[in-house]
């Protein structure tokens, strides 16, 4: 598809029984580009996210990383291609502490294969302090932590391991204004480092502020793509609702 794209999705479809959740979606993200995916609940955003992060395979279509077709059988496959996801649900194990969640599935080990708990605690602590300097009490089950702290763990572990494409599914939905601003800062910082970001959000104002391109999904199809600096809130909202653009005079085409 696009030259120099980090990741291309080509003609992705997904059926669940008789329901066609995605009907041939094309999407690409380049390095250092923030692409926002917007649309109503049920438009297919989450399904697309889960396909790209390897939770389940598409019914048809192709995922290309650096132009080469790949097949993910699990999220650990996607991680091998430096695709990391911050899920809306955060996907944390509530009974484990922050370092355990941080390194879940890629634990640091000693020479004999035992958990290197000390090193993991140190690294996690450092990574979490980078995001939130007040977040130091990390060795307790995450179920005892605040929404912002839990979010910080999910974000920190996604960006710690050589990420090239970061998928953020509603990263600010559970956060207050201050924390939302921190996430916005983080997105800008990662973008400057050349990381591609796929941002899924309900908040159109956020999206306009942070994204380079906006892709609108409706009923499992891409109904429009906009350049963030050439559009406005009304146009995006209208496209989400009607699935098409307004005319210059405001009339529906």
Separation CA 143–CA 36 (nearest Å): 30
CB closer to another protein out of 103 and 238: 103
Q: Quote the least distance from Cβ 143 to another protein, whole Å.
A: 6
**205 to 91, 93, 184, 185, 213: CA distances (angstroms):** 26, 32, 12, 15, 13
Q: How far is the CB of 251 from another protein (least distance, A)?
A: 44
For residue 30, the minimal CB distance to another protein (Å) is 25
C-beta of 114 vs 250, nearer to another protein = 114
CB of 85 to another protein, least distance (A): 7
Residue (100 or 199) nearer to another protein, CB: 100
Q: How far apart are CA 173 and CA 201, in angstroms?
A: 8
Alpha-carbon gap, residue 226 to 230, rounded angstroms: 7
- Taking the complex as a whole, how short is the minimal distance between the CB of residue 51 and another protein, in angstroms? 13
| 28 or 46: CB nearest another protein | 46
Residue linked to tokens 């279509």 = 61
Report how far apart, in Å, the C-alpha atoms of 61 and of each of 10, 25, 35, 170, 203 are. Answer: 6, 8, 20, 25, 29
**Residues binding another protein (CB under 8 A):** 53-55, 74-76, 78-79, 85, 87, 89-97, 100, 104-105, 107, 109, 113-115, 117, 139-141, 143-144
User: Which residue number, 109 or 209, has a Cβ lying nearer to another protein?
Assistant: 109
């Amino acid at each position: 598809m696009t030259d120099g794209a980090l990741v291309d999705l080509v003609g992705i479809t997904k059926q669940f029984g008789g329901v066609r959740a995605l009907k041939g979606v094309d999407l690409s993200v380049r390095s250092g580009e923030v692409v926002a995916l917007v649309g109503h609940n049920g438009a297919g955003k989450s399904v697309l996210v889960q396909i790209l992060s390897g939770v389940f395979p598409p019914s048809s279509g192709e995922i290309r990383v650096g132009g080469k077709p790949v097949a993910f059988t699990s999220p650990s496959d996607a991680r091998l291609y430096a695709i990391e996801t911050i899920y809306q649900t955060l996907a944390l194990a509530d009974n484990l502490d922050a370092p355990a969640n941080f390194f879940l599935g890629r634990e640091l080990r000693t020479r004999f294969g035992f958990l290197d708990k000390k090193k993991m605690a140190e690294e996690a602590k450092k990574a979490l302090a980078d995001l939130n300097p007040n977040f130091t009490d990390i060795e307790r089950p995450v179920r005892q932590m605040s929404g912002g702290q839990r979010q910080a763990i999910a974000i920190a572990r996604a960006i710690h391991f050589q990420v090239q494409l970061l998928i953020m599914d509603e990263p600010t939905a559970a956060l207050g204004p201050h924390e939302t601003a921190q996430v916005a800062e983080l997105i800008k910082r990662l973008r400057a480092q050349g990381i591609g970001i796929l941002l899924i959000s309900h908040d159109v104002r956020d999206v306009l502020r942070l994204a380079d391109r906006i892709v609108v999904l409706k009923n499992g199809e891409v109904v429009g793509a906009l350049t963030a600096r050439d559009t406005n809130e009304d146009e995006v909202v209208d496209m989400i609702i009607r699935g098409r653009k307004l005319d210059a005079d405001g009339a529906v085409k």
